[in-house]
A and B are shown apart, each in its own frame.
Chain A
Amino acid sequence: MSVSKIDMEDASKLLSALIDRINYLIDIKKDPEWADLDELLERASALRQAQFELSEEEYRSRLERIEDRVSFLEDRVAEKLTPAEIVNIVRSPQRFTLQDILDNVYDSYTELGGDGERNVDPAVVVARATISRRVKNKIYSHQVMVIGHEKGRGEEFRNGGSAKPWGNAKALQYMKVAENEGIPIHFFIFTPGSFPIEDYPGAAQQIARNIYAMAKLRVPMVSFISEGGSGGAEAIGLSDMRLMGSRGYYSVISPEGAAAIEGKIREGQRVPKELIEKCAEQLHMTAADNLKLGTIDKVIEEPALGARRDDFAFFRRLRYEMIKATDEVVLNTKSFKTFRAYALRRKKAEEVESTTFDVVVNWSLTDAETKRLLVHRSHKYRNMGTDFVIEPEESSLPGLKDVKEILKNCYYEARYGLLKTHRRNFQKVLAEVSGEGSVLLRTVTEPVKAAYDFVFPEPERPKRLHRANGVDTQSIFLEEWEQYVSPLANEDRTVTCPNAEKYGCQDLWVPDLYGESCGVCPTCGHHFPLEYQWYLKNLFDRDSFQEFNEHISSGNPLNFEGFGPRLKRDMQRTGRRCAIITADAKIRGIKVVVAMLYSNFRSGTVGTAEGEKFVRACDKARITRRPLLAYIHTTGGIRIQEGTLGVVQMPKCTLAVREYIDSGGLYIVVYDNNSYAGPVASFLGCSPYQFAIRSSRIGFAGPRVIRETTGEDVPPDYHAARNALSRGHIQGIWDRKDFRKNLYDALLRMGSPSLYYR
């Protein structure tokens, strides 16, 4: 409506709205001087002051001029929004929050476990809600569990939607409630990242637990991303359908964080604005980018400059899309393609702006449908990012690989699946019958058992290592020492133990330290870092380490500027193609599958290639019924130069781990040196058996990130393995010299009977 036609009361409301719009533009541009926005704001404020001094006509005409100017500027901004500006939109206090969604998208809701500040973590809000649709003049409501981050309306206690570990634990608690009740879950992600503290249950470990549980949660899940900050987003982000607001961002790291790393900015120094903008662009964090990368399923259109608190049309759209997404997830699980699915698809094809439904879908699933839901979820996440994996064809004959794969699967299924189960059942019956103690019966069963044992002989048990001369030896290192000594030992000098002042350690002569002492201070037991090759030679049986999938190579899928040469340099230096080594190996005769992240290649960061290799290692261990050892020499987290393609490795690998463990596998994680961030917060932290080599550090974020996000300093030994053990994050600490022995013991004591050597 034209300004000249509205009454004075509405005109002053319009003026207030205009001031909000100018402030919003300043938020987006982060520069009050852009197009003289500050002057425009001053003009608007002055007009408000002068309302009763001016004639009505003059007032209206000035108002109209301001409105024209604001609309013009809005169009100009919207015409070319940069990724950095989208980040500013997401962070604007005028952007909608979860509260607005609960109020406007759902009919009614009851918040669970929170009332404002009275909440275990006010940054995470959980509610039971009803959402309804109208079909042919009849209203149908559905029950859902809503879990999301609440940024709050200037409420400091909400912590900007940064969930603490116990907030994520609360989310998990209610996911299980929803699973129990069989109702779908709607997740709303509004987080700049998880709050990086190690207090129990631990930022990383809790996210890992959440992802692990969500991988096989038996209800449909739909998530909507407005602000998807890396690990914090993944904690409630693994769902069957991932929607994203067109003005949201989903990223591996904040552009400021990436800029600080890329520009090697020292702590306390200001990061240049241009560098932040460049990084925002390079990280491919917008909705359109993520849709292209396949890390989300659908973009929900927002108004050109992003939806604000009063964009009711957007909320109507969101309601429609949430219902439709849940419908699609549910209908996908039906055994036959229903007409309703067809109706939904047809609507999708037409791209109508409609918000009404022609069909009703019941959101509860039968057991068979739940099974299909989980299979679909598994496919969805396993396939994420695979298009970007660089894998040169190994064999010259196409299709030969598949045939080999099938044959191998059949063999292991027959050997350790069918035959073993059958054998165990038979033995159980035999034992029952023999147990009766009847001599008569035993005379009957003995020959049958003898015949059976002849057909299915006992598999060979792992034996103690034998020396070449046949003498049995207890020492597990003696013979290996003769063949491998760390090259670090080839220096004639001494070093000082970092604990020298505390424990009075003597200076250590390098050849002794890295030779006989295995890099361990003889006085205080401090472990100096050793190269990963040392473990290859000393941990596994001689010549048993056989790598596989060596041909899979890391790449630069986002064409991150300047990253290609760095990657190439690491490849040349290490002679390897990515930061993970996967291999078959033996430990005192027990065959294991090993996945090893090592420090020399991009600090052991995980990207698409590493994720894919890890998933394949999990699958190999599952098929061959072998234990899986993840030895983490060092990991620096998710590779930021791969953006969200790196982030989705978290759910992807966790899913593979979950399927491996569910099938009866034994998954042991051993941390060494430094293990931080994404991998610990997903496929490593979810293991029931996590150990650390002494003097290693385990955590979610490093001290600098903690200082910068929480404003609190942490003690120098905050991430030390012993503190991780005190907090309950790991199950034990191993000395390097006992690694092989402890691992062997662990293999014998833990794990399910379905493993082959059981």
Chain B
Amino acid sequence: MAGDINLNDLLRRYRTHPFEDYVVETPHTGKIALKVEQGQEVKGPSGKWGQKPGTLLFVLERERNPKKIYSKSTGVVSEVRTDLDDTFVEAGEPLLTIQHRLNKEEIIDRILKEVLSIYSAPQRARYFLMPEIATQIEKDIEKGVPIKKGDEVLIMSLMKRDTILEYDGEPGVIYKVYFQSGQTVEQGQPLLGVCPPTKLQYVQKVVQRIRTEWDE
């Protein structure tokens, strides 16, 4: 089955290389002073608002303006171009790569993103599932609730005005509901994840396997 092969491929891909690689390039020309070494662990921004910068990667100086470049992600430094240290470089020069090891949830998220079609909120409002769909989901989420284009799935409630939203994506089965009924959802945030019916079982299986077997 096509879906089967696809998912296995996906899984294999993550097994052989469970990393996300971030290539750090120079934002503009300037003289480089590297501040990290090959294999060094670096941290991404932290704090509630991401206000504390990550590890200092390098300083790029142009026109006597030393600009500090911080790591945007947590991981291990690799492929450092030490030959460029203390030299003048052009803009867009790849300087190092940060290998970010993916954890279970990040992998599941990525797989789901690739497989599911996401229905996101058209605007900031409170959302409810249509009552009949809600009952069906309550009854049996495992089996899935099939929907197709044109089905009325959601009620968007804003300032006491209710608008019924029709589903307009690929036909499939509601695999995941990302919001609580009556919750306010920001514009662009996911509401529903719809899975093609053929892939449903495999998705469930893969997620299950990652959850239980993956060691971090």
Contact = CB atoms under 8 A, between A and B. Distances in A.
Q: Do A and B bind each other?
A: yes
Contacts of A713: 47-48
Interface string B30-59: 000000000000000001110100000000
B65 A494 contact: yes
Contact of B63 (A509, A715, A716): A509
A496 B65 contact: yes
Nearest to B68: A496
Given A715-B48, A715-B51, A716-B51, A507 B64 contact: no
B4 to A, nearest CB: 43
B48 A493 contact: no
Using C-beta atoms within 8 Å of the partner chain, give the interface range for chain B: 10 to 19
A496 B69 CA distance: 12
Nearest to A715: B49
Interface in A466-501: 492-496
A668 to B, nearest CB: 33
B67 A496 contact: yes
Nearest to B50: A716
B143 interface: no
Contacts of B28: 507
B209 interface: no
Contacts, number: 25
A716 B52 CA distance: 10
B81 interface: no
A493 B65 contact: yes
Contacts of B113: none
Contacts of A507: 28, 62-63, 65, 67
Nearest to A507: B65
A494 B64 contact: yes
A125 to B, nearest CB: 34
Contacts of A494: 62-65
A713 B64 CA distance: 35
Contacts of B67: 496, 507
Contacts of A715: 48-49, 51
Contacts of B48: 713, 715
B2 to A, nearest CB: 42
A716 B48 CA distance: 10
Nearest to A493: B64
Interface residues of A, number: 10
A228 to B, nearest CB: 34
Contacts of B63: 492-494, 507, 509
B26 to A, nearest CB: 13
Interface string A379-395: 00000000000000000
Contacts of B49: 715-716
Interface string A692-731: 0000000000000000000001011000000000000000
A86 to B, nearest CB: 38
B33 to A, nearest CB: 16
B97 to A, nearest CB: 20
Contacts of B64: 492-494
A714 to B, nearest CB: 9
A713 B47 CA distance: 9
Contacts of B65: 493-496, 507
A268 to B, nearest CB: 14
A494 B29 CA distance: 13
A453 B216 CA distance: 93
A712 to B, nearest CB: 10
Nearest to B48: A713
A716 B67 CA distance: 21
Nearest to B27: A500
A495 B67 CA distance: 9
Interface in A517-560: none
A715 B48 CA distance: 8
Interface string A135-170: 000000000000000000000000000000000000
Contacts of A496: 65, 67
A514 B23 CA distance: 36
Contacts of B62: 494, 507
Contacts of B51: 715-716
Interface string B67-91: 1000000000000000000000000
Nearest to B49: A715
A736 B18 CA distance: 51
B157 to A, nearest CB: 25
A509 B67 CA distance: 14
A495 B63 CA distance: 9
A713 B63 CA distance: 37
A495 to B, nearest CB: 6
A492 B28 CA distance: 19
Quick one: which of A492, A494, A509 has the most chain B CB within 10 A? Answer: A494
Interface in A343-392: none
A657 B63 CA distance: 49
A495 B51 CA distance: 21
A715 B65 CA distance: 28
A173 B48 CA distance: 37
Nearest to A491: B64
A495 B68 CA distance: 12
A496 to B, nearest CB: 6
Contacts of A495: 65
B63 to A, nearest CB: 4
B129 to A, nearest CB: 33
Nearest to A717: B49
Contacts of B47: 713
Nearest to A716: B51
B152 to A, nearest CB: 38
Contacts of A492: 63-64
A716 B51 CA distance: 7
A507 B30 CA distance: 12
A493 B48 CA distance: 34
A713 B62 CA distance: 35
Contacts of A493: 63-65
Nearest to A703: B51
Contacts of A716: 49, 51
A716 B63 CA distance: 29
A429 B49 CA distance: 65
Contacts of A509: 63
B147 to A, nearest CB: 39
Nearest to A712: B48
B39 to A, nearest CB: 27
Interface string A633-659: 000000000000000000000000000
Interface string B175-206: 00000000000000000000000000000000
Given A493-B65, A507-B65, A715-B49, 12 more contacts: A493-B63, A493-B64, A494-B63, A494-B65, A496-B65, A507-B62, A507-B67, A509-B63, A713-B47, A713-B48, A715-B48, A715-B51
Closest 4 CB pairs of A and B: A493-B64, A494-B63, A494-B65, A716-B51
Interface of A: 492-496, 507, 509, 713, 715-716
11 contacts: A493-B65, A494-B62, A494-B63, A494-B64, A494-B65, A495-B65, A496-B65, A496-B67, A715-B48, A715-B49, A716-B51
